[in-house]
Structure 1
């Protein structure tokens, strides 16, 4: 039998699929300082807004238009919706970019990546474990904010229906269901940032470069979406659909915008994640 057809010997009991278990990676990431700091910032935002409203009084209407800001103090549900509205465009981008951009690049910066691969942890398994945990932490961050906001808002402004700025209200049960749908959509819309940060993490040994690059390109997308001269080309920008969830908190919800935004986000995310797996499989790891 030639050398090319000889079977590769492996250690007894070695199972590639059991290397770097998700619980081990999750425990590592939960114990990191940046995870705790990010969680603290998101949990503190509702308290900051309550203090701001207490100092400045109830939000004032502008030009006679009623917005989520105007109804923020109507109930705990309204306060939770406001927190999502003011955070979706930028604040919630940061934990996604941080958790996903810090995956491979941090191991490379610590010079531990080559030792993980020599353990041996298959490259695809390493990426999969890192990505799943990063996405799980990103989702947890997005759930943490409205949960804390709902509790704080209920304590400060009482429970009650979700008052719709354009008129009408949603009862507590319906409001809870709509807010769950909103959080799910925001998470899906942020998958583009997650995929971008993850791909950059496989291309650089600098975690801040991957995180900053993902945040920077996300901001560029928001800027391009503001350029009305682009016309219908903006429909292909993920940023164009990031607030489509507002249509879900209406007496008669409209889902078409969220569906289009979901398709756009998933398409970009799958392409970026595929590029990350493809590029890392061929990468010469020396860190």
Structure 2
């Protein structure tokens, strides 16, 4: 005759062995992880750097004079002082290639590796926080902070530029202008595209963060490989092979600030970035699920 214990299913016996009130989905809430990351010094320093950059450019233009009229070709930089919208666009232009890569790599690459370097990762998992849940919370916060960094820069730049140069239309270097309302909408599109284009860097940094216990290695590796991509994109001998480099499409957003926007480049760049990012995120979750965590 079977005893009551023998007739229970494995799931029922596991549920009985689990602590009362334990819910895997409620461990390490995103809001808790967000507060932890916001309090870190590197988050505050990075935010301060991005907020100060527009002020630095205003001072530079004040000292150096009008940036336009120095050659026969008019560029976006030459229109920086035309209006607040132009100033915000210039801030994005000078930052998208490198400066905005750093907060993305920092927020996504430092997140897991830092726990390992502090020897707190194994204690989080022993809490117990499921591995997938831990990665998910850290990834959401890392991407959220990256997006916040990309929004912070143009918002501050728009406010500073408007105060310094006035609220007006976005002057286009190739001719024509966009009214202030349309320009603000296009800048939102630009920020969204820059964020999507940086998903490759975020995914690369996050994957490296699950593979190493050294935060600097994950962050530096992501930044370094992004720089390598930029260098390869400059090698014109590669021809159409450059189309497979995310760096090749990083300035496709310039097509959005035209009287008649062209979306094909942004669509190709977004598709390439999302594809690479999904592969790297999948590798991060798969590898971490099988990793022997001793830190």
TM-score, normalization by structure 1 = 0.98
Give 1:278's match in structure 2, choosing from 271, 281, 286: 286
What is the distance in 1 between the residues matched to 2:258 and 2:182?
11
State whether structure 2 residue 111 is matched by structure 1 residue 103.
yes
Give 2:277's match in structure 1, choosing from 253, 269, 277: 269
What is the distance in 2 between the residues matched to 1:213 and 1:263?
23
In structure 2, list runs of 5 or more residues that go unmatched.
1-5
State whether structure 2 residue 247 is matched by structure 1 residue 239.
yes
Q: Which residue of 2 aligns with 1:142?
A: 150
Structure with max Cα Rg: 2
TM-score, normalization by structure 2 = 0.95
State whether structure 2 residue 14 is matched by structure 1 residue 10.
no
Give the superposition deviation at 1:5: 4.1
4+ long deviations beyond 6 Å: none
RMSD across aligned C-alpha pairs, in angstroms? 1.3
Give per-residue Cα distances to partners, 1:13-63, cap 9 Å, x unaligned.
110000000110000000000000000000000000000000000114454
Task: Compare the two structures and name the one with the higher helix fraction.
Answer: 2
What is the distance in 1 between the residues matched to 2:66 and 2:280?
43
Bigger CA drift: 211-220 or 4-13? 4-13
In structure 1, list runs of 5 or more residues that go unmatched.
none
Give 1:48's match in structure 2, choosing from 56, 61, 71: 56
The within-5 A match list for 1:20-99 is 20-61=28-69, 63-99=71-107
Length, aligned pairs only: 287
Give per-residue Cα distances to partners, 1:116-166, cap 9 Å, x unaligned.
000000000000000000000000000000000000000000010000000
What is the distance in 2 between the residues matched to 1:87 and 1:162?
19
Give per-residue Cα distances to partners, 1:47-80, cap 9 Å, x unaligned.
0000000000011445411111000000000000
Q: Quick one: structure 1 residues 4 and 62, their matched pair in 2 at CA, closer, same or farther if it must change by over 3 Å?
A: farther
State whether structure 2 residue 198 is matched by structure 1 residue 176.
no
Q: Which residue of 1 aligns with 2:261?
A: 253
What is the distance in 1 between the residues matched to 2:57 and 2:23?
50
Give 1:197's match in structure 2, choosing from 205, 214, 220: 205
Bigger CA drift: 7-16 or 130-139? 7-16
